[in-house]
Amino acid sequence: MSSTTDTIKGLANEALGNVKQGIGKATGNDSLVAEGKAQEIKGEAQRTVGEAKDGLHKAADVITGRK
């Protein structure tokens, strides 16, 4: 995946995870809260990977003189 795709998917998973947690808390569904937390953590990891890839691409561009 590209860095942008990773970042976008990560942000989406974080948002959906937060929504699930909110619904789970509002309805007393501990399973949904846990599922939401897991999805949020997955999203944070995806976003971090995307940001790291972007940083590596920028560093490579600087090293090779493309920017």
pLDDT value, residue 67: 66
Please give the tally of structural domains in the chain. Answer: 1
The phi, psi pair for 28, rounded to 5°, reads 75, 25
Mean pLDDT in consecutive groups of 10 residues from the start of the chain, 67 residues? 91 98 98 98 96 90 83
Domain that holds residue 39: 3-64
0.85 exceeded by the pTM? no
Which pLDDT value is given to residue 43?
97
Question: Distance between CA 20 and CA 50 in Å, rounded?
Answer: 23
Contacts with 65 (C-beta within 8 Å, 6 or more apart), sequence order: none
